[in-house]
Chains A and B, each alone.
Chain A
Amino acid sequence: MTDLAATDPLPKPKRDLAPILLPVALALLMIPLIGSTSSWLTLTVASLAMGMMIFIMASGLTLVFGLMDVLNFGHGAFIAVGAYVATLVLAPFAASIQADSLLTNLAVLAPAALLSMAVSGALGLVVERVLILPVYGQHLKQILMTTGGLIVAEQTLYALWGPQIIPMPLPASLRGSFIIGDVAIAKYRVLAMLIGLGVFIAIQLVLNRTKLGLLIRAGVENREMVEALGYRIRRLFLGVFMTGSALAGLGGVMWALYREQVHASMSDDLTVLIFIVVIIGGLGSIGGCFIGAILVAMVANYGGFLVPKLALVSNILLMVAILMWRPRGLYAVTSR
């Protein structure tokens, strides 16, 4: 123990910068490998946009695990539900979606996204109360219950909307690209990046600058202590769970627009991707989740460009490499 005078400021926690530098280094390393700067820029923007979308979907999962030790295998269901609900608004207003005016487009898109968030958030409330509440603290049963929930949600979507793929065209004003010099940057990707960055900053601000965030972070570190101080962590958790579900819904809408189609099986594919991101980042860490999402997207985009055959297993290889380096993920949450 070192002696500290009462007037000395508290020692600052060490900043762990290596994970942050990782995507930057990866991106810089790719410049000579890809060769042309313009395709490198396009790929980098694509990875950032894709990474932000994955982050939006994964952030809820990692917080839910960190705060309450709940592993939600049904998280993908919220994504699919969000996407399907958006079609409810987007289909009747197809005309305004195809109008060539950004304002008209957004006037339809924004309510669609908000409705999706509301519905998946409400679904989150139901899932937490019905499926997760009875099995707190039992990992095995949580996995089984939420997997069951995923099956039921997926099948219900099929029953309500039918098994066919629903097209979800991009609004007219978001199609095409900005051309800067010889670099083409898809407009939708810029929007996705802005929204993703906005969500990340909002989460960081709430977590680091508000009392609510203080309680959530304290809960991640030591749940019992927060309870002992008289806070109802269950209610806090319910709020986090609903927010995470709503974010998954938003991510679902964005992903569906990105792929321009909706299908209930998207929840399965994305669940795997999200799990990889959350594991890479360290379960419970928002910063790690953000970096993990960008890394996964970068490996997918650069890998798809350089060695298309490898793209199939690139995520697994990335996960193996990261876990060899840090067995608990990039930013391990201390208590677990």
Chain B
Amino acid sequence: MMILSGDPPRSRVLTLVLVVIILALAATPFLFPGAKALNVAAKICIFATLVASYDLLLGYTGSVSFAHTMFYGIGSYAIAIALYGMGPNWAAVATGIVAGLPLAALLALAIGLFSLRVAAIFFAMITLAVASAFQVLASQLSWLTGGEDGRSFQLPELLRPGTVLISKNLFGFEINGRILTFYLVFAISGLMILALLRVVNSPFGRVLQAIRENRFRAEALGFRTVFHLTYANCLAALVAASAGILNALWLRYAGPDTSLSFSIMLDILLMVVIGGMGTIYGAIIGATIFILAQNYLQSLMGVASKAADEAGLPLLPGLLHPDRWLLWLGLLFIASVYFFPTGVVGRLRHGGGKKPAGASH
């Protein structure tokens, strides 16, 4: 219980699902052969972390930020630019981390102080505007960021796929740098999610929830709400930037499409809402469902689209086209905000979803 900060899943089914997900992720290199499965597993880990950090904002403080991908992108780009410029060594990795994390935290501090000074309702709009400006900036500063092409780079020797650490033993598995990288991603993601769980169950986390429920009353109780909100903002930005670092390390690439685009922001929103706001566990569930759907549902849609096309149905082939899968996720998103605002986790915990988490204001 210590490791979960006294906040267990509180539902037998949920515990089972989480254990299955985590065991499956941990065993992916051995259970599911092939690069795609490993990619999907790493992406689930990275996004679970990113979504959990977003949950700290959306689910626990009730403020909608559209700038979360910006911090994710800062982490990605910091490591990519450092490794691209300094060559594949550990000093470059350290430089990227040392440059990226404080930058993300400082920017979060600036946005927090500025937009929390003005009316609270502006926060979502201002973050959206800042994030879009940052995206344009990143694609324009092509001497630094590589523009639309982004930056691909080499990893330090130890983490490269070509590095064989343990050659095929009697079980028939080979441990190479790629698998080591995967476990690095897995372990850091796990640690960060546990740390977030610790944060939301601390007295600080309780204050955040109080602010979410009634900011005015929290202020009247003597909590400096602006300080708490800004602090939460910075923490979330730090974790998001760390997730960005993991993402860049895993892809060996950072570019606008993989780390900054608005569609990633929408993905995060979908994941946190589908999984369940204000639970942290929801991030793991949401990321798993979403990324599995993204990778495997799309091919299914392709088959369905082709079938509809051959049957000569109007409109359906277009609606079922694999590129249109966001349409269906968007519908699912609206339905889940409407029918089960507590997401999968809330459903499993309370059965009915009587207690709406993440109420307004």
Residues of A within 8 A of B (CB): 71, 73, 131, 134-135, 137-141, 143-145, 147-149, 151-152, 155-156, 158-160, 162-163, 268-269, 271-272, 275-276, 278-279, 283, 312-313, 315-316, 319-320, 323, 327-328, 336
Contact = CB atoms under 8 A, between A and B. Distances in A.
A145 B128 CA distance: 16
List the 6 shortest-distance A-B pairs measured between CB atoms, nearest first: A155-B327, A151-B330, A138-B360, A148-B334, A152-B330, A275-B125
Interface in B125-172: 125-126, 128-130, 132-133, 136-137, 140
B330 A148 contact: yes
B24 interface: no
Contacts of A158: 323-324, 327
A319 B337 contact: no
Chain A CB within 10 Å — which of B122, B337, B341, B361 has the most?
B337
A141 B341 contact: yes
Contact of B323 (A131, A140, A160, A163): A163
Interface of B: 58, 62, 64, 114, 117-119, 121-122, 124-126, 128-130, 132-133, 136-137, 140, 262, 266, 269, 273, 315, 318-319, 321, 323-324, 326-327, 329-331, 333-334, 337-338, 341, 358-361
Contacts of B126: 279, 319
A324 to B, nearest CB: 9
Contacts of B319: 156, 159
Contacts of A143: 64, 124
Given A71-B125, A135-B338, A268-B262, 20 more contacts: A139-B361, A144-B64, A144-B273, A144-B337, A145-B334, A151-B327, A151-B330, A152-B327, A156-B319, A159-B315, A271-B128, A275-B128, A275-B129, A278-B125, A279-B125, A279-B129, A313-B133, A315-B133, A316-B129, A327-B119
A278 B323 CA distance: 33
Nearest to A278: B125
Contact of B359 (A140, A148, A275, A328): A140
Contacts, number: 115
B129 A151 contact: no
B318 A159 contact: yes
A125 to B, nearest CB: 17
A117 to B, nearest CB: 25
B140 A272 contact: no
B360 A140 contact: yes
Nearest to A327: B118
Interface of B is mostly: helix
Interface of A is mostly: helix
A145 B331 CA distance: 10
B334 A328 contact: no
Given A137-B360, A148-B333, A275-B128, A316 B133 contact: yes
Contacts of A149: 330, 334
A316 B360 contact: no
Contacts of A320: 114
Contact of A272 (B128, B327, B331, B333): B128
A336 B133 contact: no
16 contacts: A71-B124, A73-B124, A140-B64, A140-B360, A144-B333, A148-B333, A151-B327, A155-B326, A269-B132, A275-B125, A276-B125, A279-B122, A283-B119, A313-B136, A323-B118, A328-B119
A155 B337 contact: no
Contacts of B358: 140
B318 A141 contact: no
Given A159-B319, A313-B133, A151 B360 contact: no
